[in-house]
Structure 1
Amino acid sequence: MKKILSLALAMLMTATFAGCGASQKSGDNKAGNVLETADQLVEAKDLVPAKTDKKVGYQLEDPEKGEEIAVVTLENGKSFKIRFFPNEAPKTVYNFKKHAIDGYYNGLTFHRVISNFMIQGGDPNGNGTGGTSVWDGSFEDEFSKNLININGSISMANSGQNTNGSQFFINNTQTSGDINWDMYQQYYDLLESDPNTFMQYTGRKGWLDMKNAGDDYKELYNTNGGNPTLDGGYTTDAIGHTVFAQVFEGMDVVTEISNVPTGESDVPIEPVVIQSIEIVVYE
């Protein structure tokens, strides 16, 4: 039986919340120029993360002129726009863009919607069990300390480490300013002092590494909301979800999806269908 692609055990915490390289522009990476290579398949091995001078939080900036962005249009005519980060997550960005250009996502649904958490899509089976990468399989995680799972960020769904295919999700806790960092610290201290008890209590082997969660990191979550336990670049066991894009326009549409009525397995009662995902140049 295929394993349903899901998120790391952030749901536990969501309920608790109430919830030496030179700088490069995104266009320098092959993954940033997928429109130029859409008629051919770039080898995954040729796509490697590039060092940049970017700092955590830059994902909230608007795209630069000439960047490739995506316009996601729903069957109901509403749409939102996303910016990509090909330097930090080149394989993931290329995979998503190539799928979009090939029409892979057209007609698929946001099959899993959890209010105050996230919306998930990209599965041709429509139930969380399907999907493959453009390389006919899965590919490895691409974690970056510069890109985190704040609201509006787009990350890869997976069934464990290095199992990325086609499914993705958009973080949307719809809250900010109410993250209990003391609670995070308490869980971290428990992990450090008694790993077995921590795993029995949480079902996890790792946790947010509070030694690396600095003030800038915390302030971004305090201001924007989101799901810190999904940040693979900040967890003690390097397990999480690759952030590769950010909604920069139309977040109200994402929130509207987040609030649709759902039934069993968090499936929307009325299907939320992706009509198209168009890759265009930002002007």
Structure 2
Amino acid sequence: MRYSIVMLSILLLAIVAAGCGSKSKNDNALQQSQTASANGATAKQWSEMPEMTIDPKKSYTATFHTSQGDFKIELFAEEAPMTVNNFVFLAKQKFYEGITFHRIIETFMIQTGDPNGDGSGGPGYHIPDELGSDLKYEVGTVAMARTKAPDSGGSQFFICTGADSLNLNQTPDYAIFGKVIEGMDTVMAIAKSPVEMSSMGELSKPVDKITIDSIDIEEK
């Protein structure tokens, strides 16, 4: 059953609140040089965003190998160069390996990228929001999660999986930096995973542990 307009508003707020955690929790996590990852390992942390190393004129793809199968994302380096550069940096540093999909709402999106596994973590820095492009939120769109504060994204991102994600076009506050081009069946299988109530009272916490095993970046 689709969410009502009221429920959708709650979901949009939840990308802010649960997507990257409350500001105080996030600040506490980012004050540490290292933080425990979702798989029990120690996640890398940095004091500032990475220097630009990608070429926005080139094309980039990211192939995800997950516990549920593979999928491939085209990265929009020209439209969102800082965001793509950040993602490529983290992927090459193996930051995402072992991280879970910690938030799933089938008609809306699946979310990952938090080393804490609960929506509160990040890489130790924030990146600017890259907004204002002609890109739209639709099924398969990949965008950054952030708190309600501008320029507060870091490592967490979400993939749109249902009709409710289209409503984000009314308030396009999340930087779009890619789109799924292969393996959407894997993404939708993740979206259909059973969920239970999260600590915030949202029916979005996966019952089973679904992880990113590795990410391969290709440049052309």
Q: Structure 1 residues 10, 247: closer, same or farther in 2, change over 3 A?
A: farther
> Are the aligned partners of 2:64 and 2:212 in contact in 1 as well (CA < 8 Å)?
yes
Letter in 1 for 2:59: E
Shift in CA distance, 131/10, structure 1 to aligned 2, threshold 3 Å:
farther
Is residue 158 of structure 1 aligned with residue 96 of structure 2? no
1:67 and 1:82 map into 2 onto residues whose CA distance is 11
> Residue 36 of structure 2 corresponds to which residue in structure 1?
none
Q: Does the Cα contact within 8 Å between 2:194 and 2:207 map onto a contact in 1?
A: yes
5 Å matches for 1:6-155?
11-12=8-9, 43=51, 67-76=59-68, 78-132=69-123, 136-155=124-143
Distance 1:227 1:143 in 2: 17
Q: Which amino acid in the other structure matches residue 105 of structure 2? A: I
2:165 aligns with one of 223, 227, 241: 227
Tell me the TM-score normalized by structure 2.
0.70
TM-score, normalisation: structure 1 = 0.55
CA distance in structure 2 between the aligned counterparts of 1:109 and 1:259, rounded to whole angstroms: 15
RMSD: 2.8
Shift of residue 155 of structure 1? 0.3
Higher strand share: 2
Query: Share of identical aligned residues, percent?
Result: 37
Deviation at 1:12, TM superposition (A): 3.0
Q: Residue 253 of structure 1 aligns to which amino acid in structure 2? A: T
C-alpha deviation, 1:147, in angstroms:
1.0
Amino acid at match of 1:101: K
Residues 196-244 of structure 1 deviation map (CA, whole Å, 9 limit, x = unaligned): xxxxxxxxxxxxxxxxxxxxxxxxxxxxx4624424xx64xxx611100
Quote the Cα distance in structure 2 between the aligned partners of 1:130 and 1:69.
25
The runs of 5 or more residues in structure 2 that have no matched partner are 1-5, 13-48, 199-203
Shift of residue 139 of structure 1? 1.4
Q: Which has the higher helix share?
A: 1
CA contact (8 A) 2:76 2:178 kept: yes
Q: Which stretch shows the higher mean deviation, 270-279 or 139-148? A: 139-148
| CA distance in 1 between partners of 2:188 and 2:129 (Å) | 27
Structure 1 moving runs of 4+ over 6 Å: none
Q: Say if 1:82 and 1:249, in contact at 8 Å, map to a contact too.
A: yes
Q: Deviations over 1:242-283 (max 9, x none)?
A: 10000001111111110100112211111111101110246x
Aligned amino acid, residue 161 of structure 2:
N
CA 1:262 to 1:42, structure 2 compared with 1: closer, same or farther past 3 Å?
Answer: closer
Distance in 2 (CA, whole Å) between partners of 1:95 and 1:43 is 8
In structure 2, C-alpha distance between the alignment counterparts of 1:267 and 1:259, rounded to whole Å? 12
